[in-house]
A and B are shown apart, each in its own frame.
Chain A
Amino acid sequence: MKSNDLILQTSTRVVFFIIFLFSIHIFFAGHYTPGGGFVGGLLMASAIVLLLLAYDFKTVKEVLPFNYLGMTAIGMLIALTTAAGSLVFNVPFFTHWYDYFDFPLLGKTSIHTAMFFDIGVYLVVVGITLTIIEMIGGDS
């Protein structure tokens, strides 16, 4: 994928960050309104796909220089560990725990283990999309 479309590239830079932030927002919003880890991750992935369309594979790799497969694995491990926390407390697997806290800046906020789980899902989705893109793109 080689592209020299300057307008696309410029706008992509902006749009990428918008989508990126939106995906973060969606991720956190998931608790009360539409959103969550899965769709958040997908959005992030679509942003990266856009990046790929505008630039080429090398640029994407430079912007996001991670071991994508490793990132996926870590995401998976986070999700799994969250779930497996219940093993330690000897309650049924995947039993979540939540409570409300007053944080200095954020005010009354709930901490829910489901969120950690969602982080894992998010990472898996993003990581896999990047892996696939890396493979397909890097092959040419």
Chain B
Amino acid sequence: MKLINLVVLPIIVPLFIGTVLLLFRKSLLAQRALGLFGAAATLVVSLFLLAKVAEDGIQVVTLGSWAAPYGISLVSDMLSILLVATASLLTLLVLWYSVYSLGEKRELSFFYPATLFMLTGINGAFTTGDIFNLFVFFEVFLMASYVLIALGGERIQLRESMKYIIVNVVAAALFVITIGYLYSITGTLNMADLAVKLGDIGSMGVISTVAIMFLVVFGIKAGIFPLYFWLPGSYYAPPLPVLALFGALLTKVGIYSITRVYTLIFTTDVAFTHDMLMMLAIATILFGSIGALAYMDVKKIIIYNIVIAVGVILFGVAAFNEVAVTGSVLYLIHDMLVKALLFLMIGVLIFITGKTNLREMGGLIRHYPVLGWTYLVAVFALAGIPPLSGFAGKILILQGGLEGGFVWQSIVVALSTMVVLLSAIRIFIYAFWGAEKSFNSPPKAKYVNRMIPVVILFVITMGYGVFIEFLMPLFQATGTQLMDSSLYIDAVLGGEK
């Protein structure tokens, strides 16, 4: 039997379980068990879907049986499902880590349902084929993220969450306005239909204008220069597992959205729109690089590294050829994995030392060798040292950039790696190698507990690098689908007409 609704499942499974969780508000056991189960179930269905997409190509479901472009289409192409699967996996691991680390009080304050709802929003945003529905999913995961960022109600959280909310509300308003403008031009919301109609119009000033407006809207979410001001402060506030989720997933939705609209919809004036994106990507890398070395605070260091990665990924998108775009996707998934991993490791580090300032740490390698060495390897992966996970993506991005004739920009990208490496390895040098300092170390058992999900994620991340060849067909399919928008359009509009 053909399962029509497989595409919907990664969205509604967490939604359903999250809702059920609200009925067991007071049971810690139920929260933990169902929460983990929800994430695991989402992972399982998304893996099924991944297999399906790999086998049969792009999967589409038109909600309510209303043919596109009138109803809402959910579309799982390779890019979408890869991101969905990664997001689900990371949510599962972070939730696992949270069980040991978050503290009962926070766990019972809807942490698990809010996380699952956020996953709903994120998976939905990755999957939807309707630009207004994308907005709605943005609202869903943002609202969930508001809850998560304030979870625990510490003073700094309240202060930062306020800024976070206001910035995002303004961005949302701009988003709706922009969608309204686009609708006014085309009379449609379905992304495939938009692509067809804008393709008919061809290059036109007002469309480029709207394209740039979308860049601003998504840029605020993605954290591109100069729109990322809100990011470091807000991400600093919440507890580490939440930070790991934010760092690994939230900005990526912005990146995904830019990638989607700049490969599917706004492809008529590439010379202008993508050059603008290229400039901003390079500026993002430069400013992120400046920020990453400015801090001695472990959280801040990794947070600024998010910004650099955003620039690198968008560089590949802006170069707009199959190699570069494939590289961007490879790198995007890598970055999700490795950022989550690093944040969790930082979490363990802070747990051990009770400090966040590097200058107050030192000499941990003797007592925590596993954390130390895995951290070092993770840093090398972050920097794209071969054959670890960042390498394949980075090399394709650079190669694509060079093929597109972006020579000096490619060199900037290559050198940004140095800043990434230096900033992240400082943590290792100070905290693990530096002169030994004394801490009231917490019980070893608690440390070991936390290390289990960390090590699992570590192994997955490393496998993603070394055994990338096994996944390469998926990424090549992604590149093909992204650069040949007719595949997407036919999948959505073709069958129904």
Contacts and interface: CB of A to CB of B under 8 A. Distances in A.
Interface of A: 69-70, 72-74, 76-77, 80, 83-84, 86-87, 90-96
Interface SS of chain A: helix
A90 to B, nearest CB: 6
B459 interface: no
A90 B3 contact: yes
A92 B5 contact: yes
Contacts of B5: 86-87, 90, 92-93
Given A69-B25, A72-B22, A73-B22, A92 B62 contact: yes
Interface stretch (B13-21, B182-190, B312-320, B368-376): B13-21
A87 B16 CA distance: 14
B415 interface: no
Nearest to A114: B64
B20 A96 contact: no
Contacts of A84: 12, 16
B64 A90 contact: no
B47 interface: no
Given A69-B25, A92-B65, A80 B4 contact: no
Contacts of A74: 23
B165 to A, nearest CB: 16
B19 A80 contact: yes
Contacts of B62: 92
Interface string B56-70: 000001111100000
A92 B4 contact: yes
Main secondary structure of the interface of B (DSSP, over half): helix
A80 B16 contact: yes
A109 B463 CA distance: 60
A93 B5 CA distance: 6
Interface string B1-35: 11111001000100110011011010000000000
A96 B64 contact: yes
Contacts of B74: 93
A80 B12 contact: yes
Interface string B81-101: 000000000000000000000
Nearest to B3: A90
6 contacts: A69-B25, A72-B22, A76-B19, A92-B61, A92-B63, A93-B74
A92 B22 contact: no
Interface residues of B, number: 20
B479 to A, nearest CB: 29
Nearest to B25: A69
Name the 5 nearest CB pairs between A and B, nearest first: A73-B22, A94-B64, A95-B65, A93-B8, A94-B63
A69 B63 contact: no
Contacts of A93: 4-5, 8, 12, 61, 63-64, 74
A39 B463 CA distance: 52
Given A76-B19, A84-B12, A95-B65, 17 more contacts: A70-B22, A73-B19, A73-B23, A80-B12, A80-B15, A80-B16, A80-B19, A87-B5, A90-B1, A90-B4, A91-B4, A92-B5, A92-B62, A92-B63, A92-B65, A93-B12, A93-B63
Q: Which of B8, B15, B20 has the most CB of A within 10 A?
A: B8
A37 to B, nearest CB: 16
Nearest to A80: B16
Contacts of A94: 63-64
A74 B23 CA distance: 8
B212 to A, nearest CB: 34
Contacts of B1: 90
Contacts of B63: 92-95
A53 B425 CA distance: 59
A95 B67 CA distance: 11
A77 B19 CA distance: 7
Contacts of B25: 69
Contacts of A83: 12
A116 to B, nearest CB: 14
Nearest to A74: B23
A77 B17 CA distance: 10
B64 A95 contact: yes
A81 B324 CA distance: 43
Contacts of B65: 91-92, 95
A69 B61 CA distance: 32
Nearest to B113: A73
Nearest to B16: A80
